[in-house]
Structure 1
């Protein structure tokens, strides 16, 4: 396609890209809606196509910027315009977000930076399609020693073995634990099985000098703390 002067016409979306980049530079990402932030991520991945419809379709299908990044590659590839290289770019951004959130947890005692712990747990697990059980191992200063996924299960169940949990804590010389798991349904409300399993771990850990500070359940709709709900 040529312009009036005989030269190649500039695609209509180039001006939009320039304006959106300028707005990002001026106000930052927090002021942009999810689809526009996603557009900026897609600019480099898809240089020769209008990415606005693609970004809007991703948000429509998956619900939010965070849920798009966390979506399984196979489901991302179902969206027109998304190829393997784009999926990889999205997963790099997701990994970077997790690394930043984890760094905030590692940099200071966990119990004095509870909001960072919650942010990290949500970033790592809230949008997983399968249930995952994660353990945060703490030392006597309540600093994070290790963060490990103990098990992955189905959409609504992960087998957890209290003695294995405590055995791993002893191997790491941890003196405290924070249990974390996700509810893929989105609703973080603890089940009776969640409460029962937590109490079993407490019963095994306590005689060995290991405290269970909390059990956090995360989901797209928020989080629940068993300690905060006075269930442990």
Structure 2
């Protein structure tokens, strides 16, 4: 197992560099994009484009995009679920359109969109909701937010990257982390903190892109989009 500590700030972009390095390694698997909000700026759109390029036309690669809506100190939501989901859908459309304009063969991609309310999106995402975390190839804990302040702005983040390069599967640290997260997931379900599928994202995409086919894949909230 390889553990790296990364800095993301106005003077360092180690997390962004590691993200690009992992995509360039062309490993198969599942990529989690976990965020409390989404920016539509060019920098963020470019990073999303690199993730979509990684997954495009690859049957063994999948993107899971989770959106968390968080309450402020008074218990009120700082943004509605629909507002954030609309931003996600529009950013996805913008990215696909840009890639499609440079492609002669079209694009097919496996993608899940999940929206979470009253619960921490990162915990759900990093655990794979208790299914596949132990077999993960890599994970970055920290500023995976696809927002301009987190990725290209004034935020200062300290992140941890774990790369599972063991021959015998996940190492002890990943195993321990996964066990704790599965317990957290179970408690969340008991208290009605179950994630809800973001149908609006798919609606926005289908309304803004022509020749889109959506067919069920593996589970209620997993769809294959062909462009």
TM-score of the aligned structures, taking structure 1 as reference length: 0.28
Q: Which has the higher strand share?
A: 2
Return the index of the structure with the highest Cα Rg: 1
Q: Which has the higher contact order (CA 8 A, sep 6+)?
A: 2
TM-score of the aligned structures, taking structure 2 as reference length: 0.29
